[in-house]
Structure 1
Amino acid sequence: MIFASSLGTVFDWYDFYLYATLAPFFAALFFPKGNDTAALLAAFATYAAGFLVRPFGAVVFGHIGDIVGRKYTFLVTILVMGASTVLVGVLPTYETIGTWAPILLVVLRLLQGLALGGEYGGAATYVAEHAPANGRGYSTSWIQTTATIGFFLSLLVIGLCRWGFDAPAFAAWGWRVPFLVSVVLLVFSLYIRSRLNESPVFQRMKAEGRGSDHPIRDSFFRYPNNKLVLLALLGATAGQGVIWYCGQFYALFFLSTTLKLDYISTYSLLGLALLIGTPFFVFFGWLSDRIGRLKIILAGCLLGAITYFPLFQGLTHYVNPALESFQVSTPITVTADPATCAFHLFPTGNTVYSDCDRVKGYLTAAGLSFTSANGAAGSPVATRIGTTEIAGWNQGQFEAVLAEAKYPKAADKSQVNYPMTLLILVIMILYVTMVYGPIAAFLVELFPTRIRYTSMSLPYHIGNGWFGGMLPLLATAMVAATGNIYYGLWYPIVVAVITVVVGALFLRDRTTMNITD
């Protein structure tokens, strides 16, 4: 039962995270050219769209799951997820169909998000309602491994494709292969899910006539359940979400887009860290059965908030020491009339970039921190790189000045300290396992059986889909706006601290409660 539920959920996460893993690559395929940073932000915005819609999927499918049943609901979710993923694999690019490319991509991401919104709550509820009372944390922790395993599979398949195809072939058609593989996974998952039996707790509830006719109303518009939904969000899942996405996806993007480490090395390092860390999901789930779930979740949030700045600075030091040295020896200042500098979150083919936009976009895409200074009204942008000043925008001139100043365009693999880089990534994965391993059991135990699917799904998917899923977009936007490659870390740190405070003050463990009521 645990294996069958977990396997289908692994494939769902694999489908969902394919795009997330390839988001920087998709910036060049599905969005207009002209500003690399703006295109990257647009790719992250599309990535975030799948997360923004997840709570709506949680409400829709949670409602169905509390009325019709757990099993049949997540049969539907896996079908929607698999079909939309396969369609991404055959989607024409911006060069072929223009603006329709990002529009269709967003639609498919929305379908993926809706499906995932219904998937997780069903799987977690289904497993918890089968598990013994003294082993719910351990049993549901296997479900918690599925997101990371799905992420690992996406890294593995994409890595194999990048290794097997040369760069032009991968850019032309090789990127489609991981999405098309989902056809096989979809058929297998549907077969496995169709053989499952309905949850005995749900069957007993329906037989006794204790079900809810209006689970949405009973979950979100009746006290005290609506209070518990809000506290679950702010005191548990919001912090858990940002720790999860910072330790895995933001770390991935930071290595590849900011520190300029090659994709194969990035995937290999993070994949190995995931392999080392994944058993700790089960360990912390098991431990939560003995010492309680909330204290482990809040400890993981607190550790992340305290250590993220030194950990990411450590990644820079050990992955690209030449970039670290360059930034110390070559300060960069951009002076411009503030009225000429704009922020383009989702550019189109008609977007017009000022010289200020192009300069800041170029420097951010290069992984360089810079200081912004206000110039006189109407004055042209001026950039000082070390002792050299560049007037206006001329990409060739920027490249020449940076080359003369010995700017490292890519991380030198011979200078990467692989053991220390791996250690830092493993530490961040351990934080992920602390907050994520016990969360399913914690949420299941907060809510009654008749509205459990709906009630637990919404705070989980707002915490993970909105607070967590928006992290790459918001953190990258904060970096682009401030010119500081570490500034985006303030977002997960602040959210994690809020969760520690709210969770410690207003939530309590219910580890030993009877969940059949």
Structure 2
Amino acid sequence: MTGEEKKVILASSAGTIFEWYDFYLYGSLAAIIGAQYFTAFPEATRNVFALLAFAAGFIVRPFGALVFGALGDLVGRKYTFLMTILIMGLSTFLVGLLPSYNSWGAAAPVILIILRMLQGLALGGEYGGAAVYVAEHAPANQRGYFTAFIQTTATLGLLLSLIVILAVQGYVNANWAPTAVLDAAGAAVLNPDGSPRMIKAFDLWGWRIPFLGSIVLLLISLYIRMQMHESPAFKKMKEEGAASKAPLREAFGTWKNGKFALIALFGLVAGQAVVWYSGQFYALFFIQNVVKVDSFTANVMVAWSLILGTSGFLFFGSLSDKIGRKPIILAGCLIAALTYKFVFPLLTETANPALYAAQQTPVVVTAAPGDCSFQFNPVGTAKFTSSCDIAKSTLARSSVNYTSVEDPAATTAQVKIGETVIPSYDATALTGDAAKAAPAAFTKSVNDALTAAGYPLAADKNTSVIKAAHFFDIFTGQKIMVILILTYLILLVTMVYAPIAAMLVELFPTRIRYSGLSLPYHIGNGWFGGLMPATAFAISAQTGNVYGGLWYPIIIAGATVVIGALFVPGGTHKKDIFADDAK
């Protein structure tokens, strides 16, 4: 690798790392931010909304791919890079300044989602440009290896965000005392045991510091991007007058090129996307919200798995230069589809043995037909007040596995935990003092029964759950096993993600390459992947199985294996990517 090639990779990768860092700060802090901006909703619904706000950034990514992809093919890679990093950095900084729901009401979550969408637009233009820029500088027999450095940037950006969060979280919580949580009337909110609920300083305001600090990364990124030169392939194409005058129409308006976008989406990127987000973001969300590991420990475990697994990007990228991109990507999707149903329960059993043991206790929700709703409400208009919905949401908050039974004779849903039967209540049928007393009484009865069944609801009394005192507190058998499980998920990520940039570059000619690869990549990762956490959470809540949501990535990854094996061309690693430029 020459000095100039190293400079190209460094310039592209450094800026992209910072951009992913900005984007993933929200994902790492989704639960905390949800408590700040979605306080008007019940806790179970709040988690879905927090994840959907995270997903909003992914939903608009294909539109960013269209806008900036066309600009990249028309005016060049370098100037498009500068625009995307500026939009991303300013949007992230403004999230850190945005007042909470308690201060600005409904305007706060609306603005939050708008800022997330701006981040998504910027990222939609970022990845394609970085992949194309590096690939067009790379030696023909090392495109997989060179572009693998770009593939590491998403993981390194996540790792950087986790390290910053851990450092700020440790410092803020060590120097500022927790604050009592107050309700809308200004009264203290109580825990089930009657003690006041407290919120740590980081969860209250300290989470803003990583967002505000990103302004420093923005300035560094802008400086780095200003030192970059235009891609020689793009300059040569412009000089020869071979540039496309309508890259979007040429890329997607004809079957000759459009078919490759469809093949790339369904035969490669959709499966890659769900494996990527399952192995990193859903794993982090799962270990925090389902396994009930505290956020600091969860971030430490995931950070170490990223450190151990990131070298897999370079290994599989280099391997793809020798044996091809297609077999590695499809093998990663197949292994993920076959093993997820075993890996995530093992993660629960290892990280929180008491919870895993308690989940084997039979819990049954019995309700009349039609009393239970599908508790997925992305627009916030529905209210889940039936006795069945209340029963299920209460159980979901405690990571309880349960089965549902329909009984036409039932007037009010009931929960059976072991041999204990607890009647639920219909919120619409209660008024006055009864409406205030029923929720607390029902929740207490359920919690008492779950505690008797072995559920470790009091986190501070659960001695079996992993807990890290600091970043290097990992040298016990339990913690090492959790890190190894998470590292296995990261290695699957590296299999599907390392070769994908080179593979997509090789499917399209230079004149429409930026546009051609950006759209299928961001539809796959933005829609199939970005919606994965929220979709999986909703499926789990509906089925009563905390692992039920895994069917989403399993089915998508399996479908990609079949479609990819049938339709994705092989041998693209031997292709001359400039051969079609004059056509």
TM-score bracket, shorter-length normalisation:
over 0.9
The equivalences for 1:138-153 within 5 A come to 138-153=145-160
Name the % identity.
53
What per-residue deviation string (whole Å, max 9, x for no partner) do you get for residues 315-369 of structure 1?
01111111121122x2111112243322242364984533322221121121111
SS in 1 for 2:565: helix
The equivalences for 1:283-362 within 5 A come to 283-328=315-360, 330-342=361-373, 343-346=375-378, 348=380, 351=383, 353-362=385-394
Q: Measure how far apart 1:515 and its partner are.
A: 1.5
TM-score (structure 1 length as normaliser)? 0.97
Aligned-partner Cα distance in 1 for 2:50–2:409: 33
SS in 2 for 1:165: helix
What per-residue deviation string (whole Å, max 9, x for no partner) do you get for residues 299-319 of structure 1?
110110111111111101111
Structure 2: which 5+ residue stretches go unaligned? 1-7, 174-198, 426-441, 467-477
What per-residue deviation string (whole Å, max 9, x for no partner) do you get for residues 402-435 of structure 1?
2233311249465541122111111111000011
The equivalences for 1:261-280 within 5 A come to 261-280=293-312
Aligned-partner Cα distance in 2 for 1:337–1:94: 36
Assess if the C-alpha contact under 8 Å between 2:376 and 2:538 holds in 1: no
Letter in 1 for 2:279: G
Letter in 1 for 2:456: P
Assess if the C-alpha contact under 8 Å between 1:479 and 1:488 holds in 2: yes
- 1:485 matched to 2:546? The reply is yes
Aligned-partner Cα distance in 2 for 1:31–1:260: 21
Aligned-partner Cα distance in 2 for 1:129–1:72: 16
Partner of 1:499: 560
Aligned-partner Cα distance in 1 for 2:214–2:508: 34
Q: Measure how far apart 1:377 and its partner are.
A: 6.5
Aligned-partner Cα distance in 2 for 1:352–1:389: 22
Aligned-partner Cα distance in 1 for 2:245–2:231: 18
SS in 2 for 1:26: helix
Aligned counterpart in structure 2 of residue 136 of structure 1, from 140, 143, 163: 143
The equivalences for 1:60-209 within 5 A come to 60-166=67-173, 167-209=199-241
Q: How many residues align?
A: 516
What per-residue deviation string (whole Å, max 9, x for no partner) do you get for residues 30-49 of structure 1?
11345211110111111111
Structure 1: which 5+ residue stretches go unaligned? none
The equivalences for 1:42-57 within 5 A come to 42-57=49-64
Q: Measure how far apart 1:274 and its partner are.
A: 0.3
- 1:364 matched to 2:401? The reply is no
Q: Measure how far apart 1:228 and its partner are.
A: 0.5
Letter in 1 for 2:91: S
Cα–Cα, structure 1 residues 199 and 319, in superposed 2: closer, same or farther, change >3 Å? same
SS in 1 for 2:573: coil
Aligned-partner Cα distance in 1 for 2:82–2:317: 26
Partner of 1:10: 17
- 1:249 matched to 2:281? The reply is yes
Aligned-partner Cα distance in 1 for 2:516–2:463: 48
Q: Measure how far apart 1:205 and its partner are.
A: 0.5
- 1:229 matched to 2:261? The reply is yes
Partner of 2:422: 390
Aligned-partner Cα distance in 1 for 2:402–2:225: 52
Partner of 1:512: 574
Q: Greater shift after overlay, 316-325 or 354-363?
A: 354-363
What per-residue deviation string (whole Å, max 9, x for no partner) do you get for residues 389-413 of structure 1?
1111421222222223331124946
Q: Greater shift after overlay, 22-31 or 114-123?
A: 22-31
Partner of 2:513: 452
SS in 1 for 2:163: helix
Aligned-partner Cα distance in 2 for 1:331–1:387: 9
Letter in 1 for 2:574: T
The equivalences for 1:373-412 within 5 A come to 373-376=405-408, 379-393=411-425, 394-409=442-457, 410=459, 412=462
Assess if the C-alpha contact under 8 Å between 1:45 and 1:345 holds in 2: no
Cα–Cα, structure 1 residues 177 and 377, in superposed 2: closer, same or farther, change >3 Å? farther
SS in 1 for 2:365: strand
Aligned-partner Cα distance in 1 for 2:549–2:327: 27
What per-residue deviation string (whole Å, max 9, x for no partner) do you get for residues 131-154 of structure 1?
110111111000000000001111
Assess if the C-alpha contact under 8 Å between 1:133 and 1:514 holds in 2: yes
Cα–Cα, structure 1 residues 206 and 104, in superposed 2: closer, same or farther, change >3 Å? same
Assess if the C-alpha contact under 8 Å between 2:390 and 2:424 holds in 1: no
Letter in 2 for 1:362: T
Aligned-partner Cα distance in 2 for 1:29–1:377: 42
Letter in 2 for 1:335: T
Letter in 2 for 1:241: A
Assess if the C-alpha contact under 8 Å between 2:293 and 2:465 holds in 1: no
Assess if the C-alpha contact under 8 Å between 1:10 and 1:147 holds in 2: yes
Aligned-partner Cα distance in 2 for 1:4–1:414: 46
Partner of 2:27: 20
Aligned-partner Cα distance in 1 for 2:529–2:487: 19
Letter in 1 for 2:316: F
Assess if the C-alpha contact under 8 Å between 1:31 and 1:348 holds in 2: no
Assess if the C-alpha contact under 8 Å between 1:82 and 1:182 holds in 2: yes
Q: Greater shift after overlay, 505-514 or 182-191?
A: 505-514
Aligned-partner Cα distance in 2 for 1:463–1:277: 23
Aligned-partner Cα distance in 2 for 1:65–1:468: 24
The structure that has the greater radius of gyration is: 2
Letter in 2 for 1:206: K
Letter in 2 for 1:90: L
Q: Measure how far apart 1:164 and its partner are.
A: 1.6
Partner of 1:35: 42
Letter in 1 for 2:131: A
SS in 1 for 2:507: coil
Cα–Cα, structure 1 residues 245 and 124, in superposed 2: closer, same or farther, change >3 Å? same
Aligned counterpart in structure 2 of residue 220 of structure 1, from 237, 240, 252: 252
